[in-house]
Amino acid sequence: MEVALGAGTSDLVRFALDDGVALITIDNPPVNVTSQAVRAGLMAALDAADEAQVSRIVLTGAGTAFVAGADAREFDAPPQPPHLPDIIDRIEASDVPVVAAINGVALGGGLELTLGCAARVAAPTARLGLPEVTLGVIPGAGGTQRLPRLIGFGEAVAMISEGRIIAAEKALQIGLIDALDDDPVAAANALVLPDRPATGALPAPVLDCAATSAAQKGAAKRAKGQIAPLKAIELIEAATQLPLDQGLALERQTFLDLKTSDQAAALRHVFFAERSAMARGRKGGDEITEAVVVGGGTMGSAIAYALAQQSVRVTLVETDDAGAARARDTVAGLYDQAVQRGKIAPEAAEQALARNHSFQAGYDSLPAAQIAIEAVFEDLGVKREVFAALDAALPRTTILATNTSYLDPNSIADGLRDPARFLGLHFFSPAHLMKLVEVIRAQDTAPETLATVLRLTRRMGKIAVPAGVCDGFIGNRILTRYRQICDVMLIEGAMPAQIDAAMREFGMAMGPYEVQDLSGLDIAHANRQRLNWAARPDIRYIPIADRIVEETGRLGRKTGAGWYDYDEGKPLPSALIEGIVTQESERAGITRRAFTDAEIVDRATTAMFDEGLRILDEGIADSAADIDLVLIHGYGFPRWRGGPMHYAERQGQSALLKRIETYSEADPVTWTVPGVLRRLVADGDGLKTLMGDA
């Protein structure tokens, strides 16, 4: 029997009575987060249960989730009562046993709610965890104190410091839940309660120094620079010493401090930016089942493999039989890797290769695919020939996509029967692993074309960022500017190793010169030639990189040397390169000066922001959050800094304007003040208005 809760409560929490048992259902779609209204509803439901003098309370979630945690959208504001810890304390102290019926994900505050309960039953499909550190906070409603009491120090410290989410079966094995059942509500009703005290009254966990040091090492590797995992480890250690109430108070204070930290703000920003990006794939479009990929190199093969993982049948086109056979080997190699990593059984891999892939030379008898993706050599003439052939061989409705990184998609599309079904799909290598794809709107791309492609990329689990046409689109355009600023710092006094170390310390996955050595110096060289940088009045041309390519033939790791010398793979500063750098300073009449690491980071990140602002202002990117996603997922920008736009925005627009003005006074060619920034500061509008962020 459903009972209405008191006035002032929303219907986000439902209350029903059945044979002396109260069923409390949290119904806050899509994932039942514990917003203020839910918390108020829970308190009202507990009041109603008291009043009805029930013998048991069963707590569950509506839909497919139990509770995904606290509502992260509320984290920017001061916490509003009733607070989750108070609800959990009340549940734990209740004379009437409360049993959690975990019907789906129980994460963060959701799992903490269940830890206050007398017992937990979960559906086999449920997943459980305290992933707070991935949002830059720690469990703030008892997780660091109760979980180690329940499952032991070692399991708890690993789970919480990594933010690891586990399957229900594993949860049963480690004692986190008491039973598994397809119908957790019925099972929670019937469960014989375990004979043990409330979780908070269990003996303090026993410190395990080896587990602590493994967790600290893991955090240093996986989450370098991040505060939350280390704080979480400290709190779990504190649980071994402090009585529950003191441990909880310490945890609460730490949670509240971290909640307002820069790192938490950055990680929340990225979390919501990713959700918005994925949501684009839910806006219509057709389902793709049959694709053609042209070009069986590393990129084309990986794209074909990634498509096939979503049961798309892929025909890979090469120029001749030998090329088609090579492409087959490359794709088979990707399946082998998956087998080696235990992701797929050998027979299943063989079947998938046979079922989902075919390889052919030329364009005869192609299937009527819904999409064709070109991944051939980066040459306008070659690409145009490919599209002319595809246009002739495929139905008029087939979407045609180019995987170019730098060429103008509008020129590639020139001459097509129907340019409305043409666009760019800029995958990042290795395409089956990298989550980012830039989806390039060419001048005639139709909205339906975009919708179908975004639906496909969502299915592939990709973070798809739409972008307009400009040189390098979003990511490579910002990369070019970043590298250019670094080269300016080289000629003015820094050395590659210092810049790399400073950017790595900031959190970039690699420094800019290390990356060039890895990817090859010839690509950027060819781009500078193509854009005629040496003769451009709007660019302060620094000849160092071109001299390295042209005079020394050092193209990076593939030639055994580049910006660095290599000793058995270990990069070492090169006297030859440092000589070229100082020679160029002299030639330009520059007295070299020292740069601090902080200045290097400021200049590099301000340059990325400056270029990003122009990209936004030109309408190339749809939002600042999208730019952040591109840099984080494609270029190693630290997630916990939120991306270059978010990172800059936290510094304040006036400070940024002043900084760029100062740089520009000294070097007006490299630095011009973006008009849009002046406008924002003059109007007193926050950068957020321009950024249109979540």
Active site residues: 112, 132
Helix or strand run (H / E) with residue 678: helix 675-683
**Chain Cα centroid distance, residue 274:** 6
Interface contacts to ligand 3H9, rule CB under 6 A? 30-31, 33, 68-73, 84, 105, 107-109, 112, 131-132, 135, 139-141, 143, 255, 272, 275, 278-279
Nearer to ligand 3H9, 139 or 184 (CB): 139
DSSP-derived 3-state class of residue 156: helix
Return d(Cα 472, Cα 631) in angstroms, integer. 13
DSSP-derived 3-state class of residue 66: strand
Nearer to ligand 3H9, 39 or 56 (CB): 39
Taking the CA of residue 239 as centre, how many other CA atoms within 13 Å lie in the half-sphere pointing to its CB? 34
Question: Least separation, in Å, of the C-beta of 409 and ligand 3H9?
Answer: 29
Question: Least separation, in Å, of the C-beta of 355 and ligand 3H9?
Answer: 27
Question: Least separation, in Å, of the C-beta of 261 and ligand 3H9?
Answer: 14
Residue nearest to ligand 3H9 (CB): 108
Nearer to ligand 3H9, 75 or 566 (CB): 75
Nearer to ligand 3H9, 140 or 154 (CB): 140
**Residue 415 φ then ψ, to 5°:** 100, -5
Residue type, 552: T
Helix or strand run (H / E) with residue 555: none
Question: Least separation, in Å, of the C-beta of 467 and ligand 3H9?
Answer: 21
Question: Least separation, in Å, of the C-beta of 167 and ligand 3H9?
Answer: 13
Question: Least separation, in Å, of the C-beta of 149 and ligand 3H9?
Answer: 16
The structure tokens listed for 42 are 């829970």
Whether the CB-CB separation of 37 and 10 falls below 8 Å is answered with yes
Return d(Cα 101, Cα 179) in angstroms, integer. 10
The structure tokens listed for 234 are 């400290």
The structure tokens listed for 641 are 């800094």
DSSP line for 473-530: TTHHHHHHHHHHHHHHHHHHT--HHHHHHHHHHHT-SS-HHHHHHHH-HHHHHHHHHH
Nearer to ligand 3H9, 82 or 430 (CB): 82
Nearer to ligand 3H9, 31 or 488 (CB): 31
Sort residue 193 into left (φ over 0), alpha (ψ -120 to 50) or beta: beta
Residue 552 is classified by DSSP as I
The structure tokens listed for 8 are 């002032």
Return d(Cα 138, Cα 270) in angstroms, integer. 17
Question: Least separation, in Å, of the C-beta of 227 and ligand 3H9?
Answer: 15
The sheet carrying 127-129 orders its strands as 65-67, 105-107, 127-129, 165-167
Nearer to ligand 3H9, 71 or 178 (CB): 71
Nearer to ligand 3H9, 169 or 385 (CB): 169
**Structure-token match 């040459």, residue found:** 379
Whether the CB-CB separation of 452 and 286 falls below 8 Å is answered with yes
HEC readout, 556-604: EHHHCECCEEEECCEEEECHHHHHHHHHHHHHCCCCCCCCCHHHHHHHH
Return d(Cα 255, Cα 259) in angstroms, integer. 6
Nearer to ligand 3H9, 35 or 360 (CB): 35
Whether the CB-CB separation of 110 and 34 falls below 8 Å is answered with yes
The structure tokens listed for 575 are 């006297």
Question: Least separation, in Å, of the C-beta of 68 and ligand 3H9?
Answer: 4
Whether the CB-CB separation of 524 and 545 falls below 8 Å is answered with yes
Nearer to ligand 3H9, 272 or 566 (CB): 272
DSSP-derived 3-state class of residue 375: coil
Question: Least separation, in Å, of the C-beta of 87 and ligand 3H9?
Answer: 10
Return d(Cα 63, Cα 25) in angstroms, integer. 10
Question: Least separation, in Å, of the C-beta of 80 and ligand 3H9?
Answer: 11
Which parts of 346-460 fold into alpha helices (H)?
Answer: 346-356, 380-393, 409-413, 447-459
Nearer to ligand 3H9, 143 or 512 (CB): 143
Question: Least separation, in Å, of the C-beta of 163 and ligand 3H9?
Answer: 8
**Structure-token match 């600023």, residue found:** 485
Whether the CB-CB separation of 171 and 111 falls below 8 Å is answered with no
Nearer to ligand 3H9, 132 or 611 (CB): 132
Return d(Cα 448, Cα 420) in angstroms, integer. 9
The structure tokens listed for 604 are 């590099």
Question: Least separation, in Å, of the C-beta of 184 and ligand 3H9?
Answer: 17
Please count the other Cβ atoms lying within 10 Å of the Cβ belonging to residue 288: 20
**Structure-token match 């029967």, residue found:** 417
